[in-house]
Amino acid sequence: MIAKTRASRGWEPRLSSAPAGFAASGAAILVADRDPKIVGLISNALTRHGCAIRSAADGWGAWDALDDGKLDLVITDFSMPGPAGVDLVKKLRFAHPHLPVVLMAADLGEAMARYPELDGMALLEKPFEAESLMRSVEEAIWLARIETLVSARAHARVDAYNHWGLNE
């Protein structure tokens, strides 16, 4: 579980077990958050389930990590230095439209009110349970895979129609 517990220095996250049978095992995931504890906890949870993790402490670091194009998912905080998570999401949708994103925020209500275009994307409110993290990761990756397959089939169908002259 990733939750906030009262500590002498403020709120600190803690981690417990995650669900078995993680379907996103082997996925390459970028975790971007200004809080190294959050990055560490998410990275540890996902690494235990077979994911390869890259991390970034700000929006610029996250953007730089996208250079090689070998990511299956981005998990980013809504508010961080450099391009904020929401700005990173906007850039990603343009540059990498099929790359799924899970956006984390301490106050999803505020985030949705300020940015209604986030409606329909994977959102995770802090603090969250490990099960919620795992479910969000799996759903985002599966939906991206389904969208890719549907898109590929649609393109193949158009190509076949064009080849056989059926679109005229």
Q: Whose CA is closest to 27, among 43, 50, 48?
A: 50
Residues 3, 12: Cα–Cα separation, whole Å: 8
| pLDDT for the residue 49 | 87
Q: What is the pLDDT of residues 4-43, one digit of tens each?
A: 433 334 444 444 444 445 557 788 999 999 999 999 999 9
Q: How far is CA 125 from the centre of its chain?
A: 13
Q: State mean pLDDT over 71-81.
A: 90
What pLDDT score was predicted for residue 15?
41
Q: What is the pLDDT of residue 156?
A: 65
pLDDT tens across 96-149, in order?
888 889 999 888 888 888 887 776 778 899 988 888 999 999 888 888 778 777
Task: Identify the pLDDT of residue 93.
Answer: 81
Query: Is pLDDT of 74 > 50?
Result: yes
pLDDT given at position 167: 60
More confidently predicted of 91 and 47 = 47
Cα-based distances in Å from 78 to 10, 14, 136: 21, 20, 16
- Burial class for 81, CB neighbours closer than 10 Å (0-12, 13-18, 19+): exposed
What domains appear along the chain, each with residue ranges and CATH number?
3-164 (3.40.50.2300)
- What 145-154 contacts at long range (C-beta under 8 Å, 24+ apart), as own/partner pairs, is 147/98, 148/98, 151/98
